[in-house]
């Protein structure tokens, strides 16, 4: 017998336009600039708006100028005493603001390859050397076995290459600048740097590198002293020598060229006379509009199918313009709310004054989805009087102190950092000991939570922080 049952379930459906909008919010100012330039190239109906003279103001970042232009006031800018805590003003197009460079990588690959051309070696040897150099990792190590490289080179160049030829090429490359390239790993590179040093201290260092490198890396000094019958003074001398060596051939410089990475702040926050002032940094964004005469002329001159294509481009252009405007309005609402919730932090830059705040808090105040707030803050930076900050880093869960007050987890992380900084490096504190100290300071925190925060801060475990 056939039984029919009826089930009811809730299902959230997001339209393609909503997904497109959320992805658009994800763009940083620099990414949006690139996107606009791409669309300008692809869509003939879009054009740049001409800048008028009054759009340029060299003093727009001046706090007094911001105060005069600040007219974006509403209920959430007023504190309990009725005074304004902060204002919001948009930086006009054309205003210059220094792009902040985060990292610039320099390539050594071409310099190393150039040295090959000046060696008196055969064409085949040069090709083997070039293949090996291209096989190095970002630190200059060669993670492949000579036998495997011989097979790979033979296949790539359709010629037979012996393992001995690869070994000869490796030895040759290791004499280039920087010396030690193509070492197999850090231990072999350290050994390479000591190969011509035959002092008693160097010989002991070679033994430790060759036989106890793992113990050395894990700072198991007691085991090394015991098995090699070394005194603490002898081990300190050995460690001083080893630590004076380079860690890897390229000194952390990557081999391949990489694009310079920059950050353009999405917001500029200034502490004015009596209030915080936030500016949306739209200076680098091109102002675009639809070229109506061109669109109308194209519709009249071409067939119905062509008109349909033109209308599609018009719709695309209209959506982009509206999306940019809506993005700015959404970003304004979010930054105003964050300033209101974190007024004390932005006034001082003291992370201890950072209040617990989650995405839901901001979303509730501005009556928007959590996903919207997440995308508006992720990858977005604010230039403040105390440095560049990632808005996403302002969000943290709350922990209740013993006095009943709630504090941000970021504050606890800062306390952990201070505890580790002031510890005795010869007897570093364990996670359990840090937990006890936090409890004494009024922060009841579980040991596993301390371990998690320590890892997030990039702090090594106690065993690896120990020094003699």
Among 359, 393, 427, identify where a domain stops: 393
- Is 255 domain-assigned? no
Task: Mark whether 410 and 352 lie in a shared domain.
Answer: no
- Is 52 domain-assigned? no
For 189, the token pair is 């590179």
- Is 418 domain-assigned? yes
Per-residue pLDDT for 375 more than 70? yes
313 or 163, which is more confident: 163
- Is 84 domain-assigned? yes
What's the pLDDT at 266? 87
Task: Mark whether 138 and 231 lie in a shared domain.
Answer: yes
Mean pLDDT of 342-366: 87
Task: Mark whether 367 and 429 lie in a shared domain.
Answer: no
Task: Mark whether 126 and 239 lie in a shared domain.
Answer: yes
Task: Mark whether 144 and 208 lie in a shared domain.
Answer: yes
Per-residue pLDDT for 218 more than 90? no
- Is 157 domain-assigned? yes
Task: Mark whether 221 and 281 lie in a shared domain.
Answer: no
Among 349, 368, 393, identify where a domain stops: 393
Q: pLDDT tens for residues 100-137?
A: 444 333 356 777 777 887 778 888 888 888 888 888 88
Task: Mark whether 294 and 373 lie in a shared domain.
Answer: yes
Give the range of the structural domain holding residue 404, as residue numbers without chain letter. Answer: 398-465
Q: pLDDT tens for residues 162-198?
A: 889 999 999 988 888 888 888 888 888 888 888 888 8
Task: Mark whether 304 and 376 lie in a shared domain.
Answer: yes
Task: Mark whether 301 and 316 lie in a shared domain.
Answer: yes
- Is 103 domain-assigned? no
One-letter-per-residue 3-state SS of the chain:
CCCCCCCCCCCCCCCHHHHHHHHHHCCCHHHHHHHHHHHHHHCCCEEECCCCHHHCCCCCCCHHHHHHHCCCCCHHHECCCCCECEEEEEECCCCCCCCEEEECCCCCHHHHHHHHHCCCCCHHHHHHHHHHHHCCCCCCCCCCCHHHHHHHHHHHHCCCCCHHHHHHHHHHHCCCCCCCCCCCCHHHHHHHHHCCCCCHHHHHHHHHHHHCHHHHHCCCHHHHHHHHCCCHHHHHHHHHHHHCCCCCCCCCCCCCCCCCEEECCCEEEEECCCCEEEEEECCCCCCEEECHHHHHHHHHHCCHHHHHHHHHHHHHHHHHHHHHHHHHHHHHHHHHHHHHHCHHHHHHCCHHHCCCECHHHHHHHHCCCHHHHHHHHCCCEEEECCEEEEHHHHCECEEECCCCCEEEHHHHHHHHHHHHHCCCCCCCCCHHHHHHHHHHCCCCCCHHHHHHHHHHCCCCCHHHHCCC
Count the domains in the chain. Answer: 3
CA 272, CA 345: separation in Å to the nearest integer? 15
Task: Mark whether 270 and 382 lie in a shared domain.
Answer: yes
Task: Mark whether 139 and 199 lie in a shared domain.
Answer: yes
Task: Mark whether 304 and 427 lie in a shared domain.
Answer: no
Q: pLDDT tens for residues 24-72?
A: 777 888 788 888 888 888 777 777 776 554 443 443 333 333 333 333 3
- Is 22 domain-assigned? no
Which range among 13-22, 73-82, 84-93, 146-155 shows the weakest confidence by mean pLDDT?
A: 73-82
Among 342, 368, 393, identify where a domain stops: 393
């Amino acid at each position: 017998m056939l039984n029919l049952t009826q089930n009811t379930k809730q299902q959230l459906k997001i339209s393609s336009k909503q997904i497109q909008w959320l992805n658009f919010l994800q763009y940083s100012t620099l990414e949006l600039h690139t996107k606009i330039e791409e669309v300008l190239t692809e869509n003939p109906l879009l054009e740049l708006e001409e800048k008028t003279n009054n759009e340029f103001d060299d003093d727009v970042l001046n706090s007094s100028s911001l105060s005069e232009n600040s007219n974006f006031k509403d209920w959430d800018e007023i504190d309990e005493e009725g005074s304004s805590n902060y204002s919001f003003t948009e930086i006009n197009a054309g205003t210059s603001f220094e792009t902040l460079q985060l990292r610039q990588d320099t390539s050594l690959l071409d310099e190393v390859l150039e040295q090959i051309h000046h060696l008196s070696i055969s064409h085949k040897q040069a090709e083997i050397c070039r293949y090996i150099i291209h096989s190095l990792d970002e630190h200059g190590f060669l993670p492949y076995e000579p036998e495997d490289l011989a097979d790979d080179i033979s296949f790539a160049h359709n010629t037979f290459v012996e393992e001995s030829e690869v070994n000869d090429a490796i030895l040759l490359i290791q004499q280039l600048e920087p010396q030690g390239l193509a070492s197999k790993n850090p231990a072999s590179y350290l050994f390479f740097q000591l190969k011509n040093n035959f002092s008693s201290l160097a010989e002991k260092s070679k033994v430790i590198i060759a036989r106890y490198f793992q113990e050395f890396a894990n700072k198991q000094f007691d085991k090394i002293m015991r098995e090699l019958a070394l005194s603490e003074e002898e081990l300190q001398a050995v460690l001083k020598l080893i630590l004076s060596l380079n860690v890897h051939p390229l000194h952390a410089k990557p081999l391949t060229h990489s694009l310079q990475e920059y950050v353009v702040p999405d917001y500029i926050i200034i502490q004015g006379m009596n209030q915080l002032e936030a500016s949306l940094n739209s200076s680098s964004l091109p102002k675009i509009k639809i070229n109506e005469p061109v669109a109308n002329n194209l519709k009249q001159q071409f067939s119905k199918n062509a008109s349909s294509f033109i209308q599609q481009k018009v719709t695309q252009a209209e959506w982009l313009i509206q999306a940019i405007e809506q993005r700015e309005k959404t970003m304004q609402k979010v930054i105003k709310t964050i300033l209101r919730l974190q007024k004390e932090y932005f006034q001082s830059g003291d992370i201890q004054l950072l209040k617990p705040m989650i995405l839901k808090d901001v979303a509730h105040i501005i009556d928007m989805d959590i996903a919207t707030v997440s995308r508006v803050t992720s990858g977005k930076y604010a230039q403040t009087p105390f440095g560049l900050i990632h808005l996403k880093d302002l969000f943290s869960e709350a922990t209740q102190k013993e006095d009943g007050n709630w504090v941000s987890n970021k504050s606890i992380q800062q306390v952990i950092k201070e505890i580790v900084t002031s510890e005795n490096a010869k007897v570093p504190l364990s996670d359990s000991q840090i937990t006890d100290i936090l409890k004494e300071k009024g922060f009841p925190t579980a040991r596993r939570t301390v371990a998690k925060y320590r890892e997030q801060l990039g702090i090594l475990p106690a065993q690896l922080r120990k020094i003699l």
